Structure 1
Amino acid sequence: MIDVVFSQDEIPENIQGQNVVVFDILLATSTIVTLMEKGVQAIYPAESEKEALERHHALAGSQLIGEKDGRPIEPYFAPPLPTALIQSHLPTQVVMLTTNGTLAIRKSEGAKRVLIGSLLNNRAIVEAFFQEENWTLVCAGSHGALAIEDVYGAGQWMAEWLKQHPHTRLTERAEVAYATYDQKATKAKSRLRQSKTGRMLMKQGYENELAYVAQQHTMRVIPYYERGMIQHYIH
């Protein structure tokens, strides 16, 4: 069975036994996937600025990446913009704080496994875990509300899954997410541009970031979260 939750506030307490994929397409999980594809070995998702700074100071040579309400956290945090980050020198360890994505990852702790999904790497996740059952796709959302780009990302993951398991039972929420993707499966960039967050990013001049994260199935890395740290899943 596949279920979808539309915001981090909806993550169930009884998530044990579930395989979780977390989506914050614009931009946290897309950035995490990109950083790990480009060589970052460990990412520590934080729940507060205080926690992020303490972790950063404890990890020599680490980099702080973060945003709050879509704006940079001054003066120590680099914005979570994947194309900008990969043009700079990347450390092996990163501490990340975002408004929704890192919180959704942390709230998913306790699941059987917590994987990090995006349009960039969803196919790789499905291919690596095609024998698993009981999936909960966690859309980070925006301040407790639905974010259409995350629902679209969850729908893309299901489209890949259903190619191999066409008779998998979907909850009604999962059916909504699948339909959201299926209606614009070949128009990822326009779907992201039309979202509330996408419009905000365009207004800030980040059209290139939207185009980048709208690429589908271009990366094979599978980041997974366990015991406070995101690292590579090796299969």
Structure 2
Amino acid sequence: MPLHTVDRLEDVPDPVPDADFVVVDVIISSTSIVRLLEAGAAYVRPFADPEAARSFGAETDALLVGEQGGAPVEGFDASPLPSLLPEDITDRPVGILTSNGTRAFERIGHDGTIFVGSTVNAAAVASTLAERDRETWLVAAGRGGDPTPEDSAGVELVRRCYEDRLTTDAAASLAATVEESGTAGWLRELGLGDDVNALLQFNESDVVPRLRDGVFVA
């Protein structure tokens, strides 16, 4: 079946086609959702509006993680960066809000078939897509309407895994693209280099988050 790629969420067709979607926001919502579900979260609910997220947190005692423009969100519990997430979240619901990734989910619509892809789970996502054999859009979230190198690299990684042509040289080139991105450099300047290093561990997670009834589950 056809496999389409876009370098920013604004390029998703309108109206949104009846197809599978993989949203790739490498730094950081995609990776965070993977890590939260790996850590045992009951589910992860994405938000584009901080007030709606805060209401959800008050109603459910969910953990709220998020950022807006790289800054903390008032009333939230933690940053969405994996190294800064709380250690014990087993069976706890989580709400997440980020500048780009969760906005992409809103753009596609919560009733769509949406998977979450990143560098850490690209091969598992590709395997899931191959089993489903449906028209699929790989969506690099981008930032504020502009492409970002790390998201485009994440999309390319999923595509190469799907097409079974991820060579050693290609993987090294994609890793360099992620590591040399402006966002990765900013994280290193903040002393969060471990988060960047973790992103370079391609295909080490088998978790493929899928949106069901408005929340992501593994």
Counterparts of 1:58-137 in structure 2, within 5 Å, are 58-60=59-61, 62-85=62-85, 88-91=87-90, 92-109=92-109, 113-131=113-131, 132-137=133-138
Unmatched tracts of structure 1, length 5 or more = 167-177
| Cα distance in 2, alignment partners of residues 17 and 150 from structure 1 | 23
Match of residue 199 from structure 1:
185
Q: Specify which of 201, 214, 222 is matched with residue 200 of structure 2.
A: 214
Match of residue 171 from structure 1:
none
Q: TM-score, normalised by structure 1?
A: 0.84
Counterparts of 1:164-203 in structure 2, within 5 Å, are 184-203=170-189
Deviation at 1:90, TM superposition (A): 1.4
Unmatched tracts of structure 2, length 5 or more = none
Q: Quote the RMSD (CA, aligned, Å).
A: 2.2
Q: Which stretch of the first structure deviates more once superposed, 113-122 or 223-232?
A: 223-232
- 8 Å Cα contact 1:184-1:191 kept in structure 2: no
Deviation at 1:70, TM superposition (A): 1.2
- 8 Å Cα contact 1:43-1:229 kept in structure 2: yes
- 8 Å Cα contact 1:29-1:116 kept in structure 2: yes
Q: Which stretch of the first structure deviates more once superposed, 71-80 or 115-124?
A: 71-80
Q: Deviations over 1:127-159 (max 9, x none)?
A: 223141311011110111001100000000011
Moved over 3 A (4+): 181-184, 187-190
Corresponding letter in the other structure for 1:115: F
Corresponding letter in the other structure for 1:53: R
| Cα distance in 2, alignment partners of residues 126 and 9 from structure 1 | 23
- 8 Å Cα contact 2:157-2:174 kept in structure 1: no
Q: TM-score, normalised by structure 2?
A: 0.90
SS in 1 for 2:171: coil
| Cα distance in 1, alignment partners of residues 115 and 157 from structure 2 | 15
Corresponding letter in the other structure for 2:21: V
| Cα distance in 1, alignment partners of residues 53 and 181 from structure 2 | 28
Change (3 A) 1:182 1:133: farther
Q: Deviations over 1:92-120 (max 9, x none)?
A: 21011100011112222267510000111
Percent identity, aligned pairs only, is: 24
Match of residue 11 from structure 1:
12
- 8 Å Cα contact 2:66-2:76 kept in structure 1: no
Corresponding letter in the other structure for 1:140: A
- 8 Å Cα contact 1:46-1:97 kept in structure 2: yes
| Cα distance in 2, alignment partners of residues 190 and 70 from structure 1 | 23
Q: Deviations over 1:1-35 (max 9, x none)?
A: 21112212222223332111000001110010011
| Cα distance in 1, alignment partners of residues 123 and 170 from structure 2 | 17
SS in 2 for 1:68: coil
